[in-house]
Amino acid sequence: MDVLYSLLDVQNQRLNIIVQEKTFTNTLNFVLTTLTNDIFSLTDTIVDRFCTNILPRIHHNVKSLIVDSASMERILLVADYPNLTELKLFNFNHKIVSRYFTDQSPFRRIFQQQIIDLILVFKGDMNKISLKDYTIDVYGYIMKFFENLKHLSITGSYPYYFPPLELHHLPLTTLFSSTLDKLCIHVMRFEDCLALLDGRLKQLQILIVDICCIEYPSWRVYNMVSLYCISLIFST
Protein backbone atom coordinates (compact mmCIF):
# COMPACT_ATOMS: atom_id res chain seq x y z
CA MET A 1 0.00 0.00 0.00
CA ASP A 2 2.71 2.49 0.95
CA VAL A 3 4.73 1.57 -2.11
CA LEU A 4 1.74 2.01 -4.39
CA TYR A 5 0.72 5.31 -2.87
CA SER A 6 4.21 6.77 -2.78
CA LEU A 7 5.73 5.57 -6.03
CA LEU A 8 2.92 5.19 -8.56
CA ASP A 9 2.96 8.03 -11.11
CA VAL A 10 6.43 9.24 -10.24
CA GLN A 11 8.39 10.38 -13.26
CA ASN A 12 9.87 6.97 -13.91
CA GLN A 13 8.13 4.61 -16.33
CA ARG A 14 9.97 1.49 -15.20
CA LEU A 15 9.15 2.18 -11.56
CA ASN A 16 5.50 2.71 -12.46
CA ILE A 17 5.41 -0.72 -14.07
CA ILE A 18 7.13 -2.41 -11.13
CA VAL A 19 4.81 -1.04 -8.41
CA GLN A 20 1.77 -2.28 -10.33
CA GLU A 21 3.01 -5.86 -10.27
CA LYS A 22 1.26 -8.51 -8.17
CA THR A 23 3.80 -8.31 -5.36
CA PHE A 24 2.49 -4.88 -4.45
CA THR A 25 -1.15 -5.25 -5.51
CA ASN A 26 -2.36 -8.72 -4.46
CA THR A 27 -3.27 -7.60 -0.92
CA LEU A 28 -4.51 -4.11 -0.11
CA ASN A 29 -5.04 -2.98 3.48
CA PHE A 30 -7.16 0.12 4.07
CA VAL A 31 -7.22 -0.28 7.87
CA LEU A 32 -4.77 0.71 10.58
CA THR A 33 -4.72 -1.23 13.85
CA THR A 34 -2.95 -0.21 17.05
CA LEU A 35 -1.36 -2.35 19.75
CA THR A 36 -4.53 -1.84 21.80
CA ASN A 37 -6.70 -3.17 18.93
CA ASP A 38 -8.12 0.23 18.05
CA ILE A 39 -9.18 0.47 14.42
CA PHE A 40 -8.60 3.48 12.19
CA SER A 41 -9.43 4.02 8.54
CA LEU A 42 -6.94 5.57 6.18
CA THR A 43 -7.41 9.28 5.63
CA ASP A 44 -9.89 10.47 3.01
CA THR A 45 -7.02 11.89 0.98
CA ILE A 46 -5.36 8.49 0.68
CA VAL A 47 -8.61 6.65 -0.04
CA ASP A 48 -9.56 9.30 -2.62
CA ARG A 49 -6.36 8.77 -4.55
CA PHE A 50 -6.71 5.00 -4.47
CA CYS A 51 -10.30 5.16 -5.69
CA THR A 52 -9.74 7.68 -8.46
CA ASN A 53 -6.28 6.84 -9.71
CA ILE A 54 -4.85 3.58 -8.37
CA LEU A 55 -7.57 0.93 -8.00
CA PRO A 56 -8.95 1.31 -11.55
CA ARG A 57 -5.49 0.42 -12.84
CA ILE A 58 -4.59 -2.51 -10.59
CA HIS A 59 -7.97 -3.98 -9.56
CA HIS A 60 -7.45 -7.12 -11.69
CA ASN A 61 -4.47 -8.05 -9.49
CA VAL A 62 -6.25 -7.67 -6.16
CA LYS A 63 -6.87 -10.98 -4.39
CA SER A 64 -7.35 -9.77 -0.83
CA LEU A 65 -8.98 -6.63 0.56
CA ILE A 66 -8.87 -5.41 4.16
CA VAL A 67 -11.42 -2.66 4.71
CA ASP A 68 -13.75 -1.27 7.34
CA SER A 69 -17.51 -0.97 7.05
CA ALA A 70 -17.36 2.79 6.44
CA SER A 71 -15.13 2.54 3.36
CA MET A 72 -16.09 -0.87 1.92
CA GLU A 73 -18.82 0.38 -0.41
CA ARG A 74 -16.72 3.14 -1.86
CA ILE A 75 -13.75 0.87 -2.50
CA LEU A 76 -15.73 -2.02 -3.98
CA LEU A 77 -17.67 0.24 -6.33
CA VAL A 78 -14.49 1.43 -8.02
CA ALA A 79 -13.92 -1.73 -10.08
CA ASP A 80 -14.92 -5.35 -10.72
CA TYR A 81 -12.07 -7.10 -8.85
CA PRO A 82 -12.31 -10.30 -10.92
CA ASN A 83 -9.68 -12.11 -8.82
CA LEU A 84 -10.80 -11.02 -5.36
CA THR A 85 -11.24 -14.10 -3.14
CA GLU A 86 -10.52 -12.85 0.38
CA LEU A 87 -12.30 -10.10 2.31
CA LYS A 88 -11.51 -8.91 5.82
CA LEU A 89 -14.13 -6.49 7.10
CA PHE A 90 -13.59 -4.47 10.27
CA ASN A 91 -16.32 -2.80 12.34
CA PHE A 92 -18.84 -5.40 11.25
CA ASN A 93 -22.39 -5.49 12.68
CA HIS A 94 -25.77 -6.98 11.80
CA LYS A 95 -26.76 -3.91 9.76
CA ILE A 96 -24.06 -4.76 7.21
CA VAL A 97 -25.89 -8.01 6.47
CA SER A 98 -29.21 -6.35 5.60
CA ARG A 99 -27.51 -3.59 3.61
CA TYR A 100 -24.86 -5.40 1.58
CA PHE A 101 -25.32 -9.18 1.85
CA THR A 102 -28.46 -9.27 -0.30
CA ASP A 103 -29.47 -10.23 -3.83
CA GLN A 104 -29.94 -6.53 -4.59
CA SER A 105 -26.42 -5.62 -3.51
CA PRO A 106 -24.09 -4.32 -6.24
CA PHE A 107 -21.47 -6.65 -4.75
CA ARG A 108 -23.60 -9.81 -4.91
CA ARG A 109 -21.49 -11.45 -7.62
CA ILE A 110 -18.25 -10.86 -5.73
CA PHE A 111 -19.67 -12.06 -2.42
CA GLN A 112 -21.56 -15.08 -3.70
CA GLN A 113 -19.26 -16.35 -6.44
CA GLN A 114 -15.74 -15.16 -5.63
CA ILE A 115 -15.19 -14.84 -1.89
CA ILE A 116 -13.85 -18.06 -0.35
CA ASP A 117 -12.13 -16.52 2.69
CA LEU A 118 -14.21 -14.16 4.84
CA ILE A 119 -13.05 -12.51 8.07
CA LEU A 120 -15.56 -10.40 9.99
CA VAL A 121 -14.26 -8.32 12.89
CA PHE A 122 -16.91 -6.86 15.17
CA LYS A 123 -16.49 -3.53 16.86
CA GLY A 124 -19.55 -4.14 19.00
CA ASP A 125 -23.09 -5.24 18.29
CA MET A 126 -24.92 -5.95 21.52
CA ASN A 127 -28.62 -5.42 20.88
CA LYS A 128 -32.09 -6.69 21.75
CA ILE A 129 -32.04 -9.49 19.17
CA SER A 130 -32.10 -12.90 20.85
CA LEU A 131 -29.02 -15.07 20.42
CA LYS A 132 -30.94 -17.70 18.48
CA ASP A 133 -32.45 -15.11 16.13
CA TYR A 134 -29.00 -13.58 15.67
CA THR A 135 -27.59 -17.02 14.91
CA ILE A 136 -30.25 -17.62 12.26
CA ASP A 137 -30.53 -14.13 10.75
CA VAL A 138 -26.86 -13.14 10.79
CA TYR A 139 -24.48 -16.10 11.13
CA GLY A 140 -26.71 -18.61 9.38
CA TYR A 141 -27.61 -16.16 6.63
CA ILE A 142 -23.95 -15.39 5.94
CA MET A 143 -23.26 -19.10 5.43
CA LYS A 144 -26.08 -19.31 2.89
CA PHE A 145 -25.31 -16.07 1.07
CA PHE A 146 -21.59 -16.68 0.51
CA GLU A 147 -22.06 -19.75 -1.65
CA ASN A 148 -18.39 -20.71 -2.14
CA LEU A 149 -17.07 -19.93 1.33
CA LYS A 150 -14.23 -22.17 2.53
CA HIS A 151 -12.83 -20.18 5.45
CA LEU A 152 -14.95 -18.11 7.84
CA SER A 153 -13.68 -16.21 10.85
CA ILE A 154 -16.01 -14.16 13.05
CA THR A 155 -14.22 -12.36 15.82
CA GLY A 156 -13.92 -9.06 17.67
CA SER A 157 -11.59 -6.95 19.75
CA TYR A 158 -13.13 -8.62 22.80
CA PRO A 159 -15.51 -11.58 22.57
CA TYR A 160 -18.27 -10.15 24.76
CA TYR A 161 -18.69 -7.17 22.47
CA PHE A 162 -20.80 -9.15 20.00
CA PRO A 163 -23.41 -11.93 20.21
CA PRO A 164 -22.05 -15.48 20.47
CA LEU A 165 -23.43 -18.31 18.39
CA GLU A 166 -26.25 -20.27 20.04
CA LEU A 167 -26.83 -23.29 17.87
CA HIS A 168 -28.02 -26.21 19.99
CA HIS A 169 -31.65 -27.23 19.42
CA LEU A 170 -31.64 -25.45 16.05
CA PRO A 171 -32.16 -27.57 12.90
CA LEU A 172 -29.31 -28.82 10.73
CA THR A 173 -30.32 -26.32 8.06
CA THR A 174 -29.09 -23.53 10.35
CA LEU A 175 -25.41 -22.76 9.70
CA PHE A 176 -25.25 -25.45 7.04
CA SER A 177 -22.42 -25.56 4.51
CA SER A 178 -21.08 -28.12 2.07
CA THR A 179 -17.96 -26.06 1.25
CA LEU A 180 -16.63 -24.64 4.54
CA ASP A 181 -13.47 -26.37 5.79
CA LYS A 182 -12.26 -23.84 8.39
CA LEU A 183 -14.33 -21.99 10.98
CA CYS A 184 -13.33 -19.60 13.76
CA ILE A 185 -16.26 -18.40 15.86
CA HIS A 186 -17.48 -17.36 19.32
CA VAL A 187 -20.13 -19.67 20.82
CA MET A 188 -22.32 -19.41 23.89
CA ARG A 189 -21.91 -22.89 25.39
CA PHE A 190 -19.90 -26.04 24.94
CA GLU A 191 -23.02 -27.71 23.56
CA ASP A 192 -23.07 -25.14 20.76
CA CYS A 193 -19.55 -26.22 19.91
CA LEU A 194 -20.71 -29.84 19.73
CA ALA A 195 -23.59 -28.82 17.48
CA LEU A 196 -21.08 -27.51 14.96
CA LEU A 197 -19.79 -31.07 14.67
CA ASP A 198 -23.13 -32.78 14.03
CA GLY A 199 -22.72 -32.98 10.26
CA ARG A 200 -24.09 -29.61 9.19
CA LEU A 201 -20.56 -28.56 8.14
CA LYS A 202 -19.71 -31.51 5.96
CA GLN A 203 -16.24 -30.43 4.83
CA LEU A 204 -15.07 -28.92 8.13
CA GLN A 205 -11.44 -29.71 8.92
CA ILE A 206 -10.36 -26.92 11.27
CA LEU A 207 -12.54 -25.53 14.07
CA ILE A 208 -11.49 -22.74 16.43
CA VAL A 209 -14.11 -21.76 19.00
CA ASP A 210 -14.20 -19.30 21.87
CA ILE A 211 -16.69 -20.63 24.43
CA CYS A 212 -18.45 -18.07 26.58
CA CYS A 213 -20.12 -20.22 29.25
CA ILE A 214 -19.03 -23.66 30.39
CA GLU A 215 -21.96 -25.87 31.29
CA TYR A 216 -22.19 -29.61 31.77
CA PRO A 217 -23.06 -30.92 28.31
CA SER A 218 -26.09 -33.09 27.69
CA TRP A 219 -25.76 -36.71 26.66
CA ARG A 220 -27.06 -35.92 23.21
CA VAL A 221 -25.25 -38.04 20.61
CA TYR A 222 -23.78 -36.20 17.62
CA ASN A 223 -22.81 -37.64 14.28
CA MET A 224 -19.49 -35.88 14.56
CA VAL A 225 -17.41 -35.00 11.53
CA SER A 226 -13.72 -35.86 11.32
CA LEU A 227 -11.55 -32.86 12.09
CA TYR A 228 -7.94 -32.20 11.26
CA CYS A 229 -7.65 -29.63 14.05
CA ILE A 230 -9.82 -28.28 16.86
CA SER A 231 -8.96 -25.46 19.26
CA LEU A 232 -11.10 -24.50 22.25
CA ILE A 233 -10.78 -21.15 24.03
CA PHE A 234 -12.71 -20.68 27.26
CA SER A 235 -13.66 -17.08 28.06
CA THR A 236 -13.60 -16.08 31.70
Select the more confidently predicted residue: 61 or 212.
61
pLDDT band at 221 (very low <50, low <70, confident <90, very high): very low
Q: Look at 10-24, 30-44, 58-72 and tell me which has the smallest mean pLDDT.
A: 10-24
The structure's pTM equals: 0.86
Q: Is 38 among the domain residues?
A: no
Q: Is 158 among the domain residues?
A: yes
Q: Is 12 among the domain residues?
A: no
| pLDDT above 70 for 219 | no
Give the mean model confidence (pLDDT) for residues 178-188: 93
Q: Is 111 among the domain residues?
A: yes
Q: Is 223 among the domain residues?
A: yes
Q: Is 166 among the domain residues?
A: yes
| pLDDT above 70 for 55 | yes
User: What span, in angstroms and rounded, lies between the C-alpha atoms of 109 and 106?
Assistant: 8
Q: What is the DSSP letter of 122?
A: E
- Tens digit of pLDDT for each residue in 56-86? 888 899 999 999 999 999 999 999 999 999 9
Residues 6+ apart with CB under 8 A from 95: none
Q: Look at 160-169, 196-205, 223-232 and tell me which has the smallest mean pLDDT.
A: 223-232
3-state secondary structure 128-191: CCCHHHHHHHHHHHHHHHCCCCCEEEEEECCHHHCCCECCCCCCCCCCCECCCCEEEEEEEEHH
User: What span, in angstroms and rounded, lies between the C-alpha atoms of 75 and 48?
Assistant: 9
Count of beta carbons in the 10 Å neighbourhood of residue 98: 11
Q: Is 47 among the domain residues?
A: no
Q: Domain total for the chain?
A: 1
Give the mean model confidence (pLDDT) for residues 204-216: 82
Q: Is 21 among the domain residues?
A: no
Lateral strand order in the sheet of 182-189: 27-29, 64-68, 86-92, 117-122, 151-156, 182-189, 206-213, 229-234
- Tens digit of pLDDT for each residue in 135-149? 999 999 999 999 999
**Domain encompassing residue 118:** 85-234
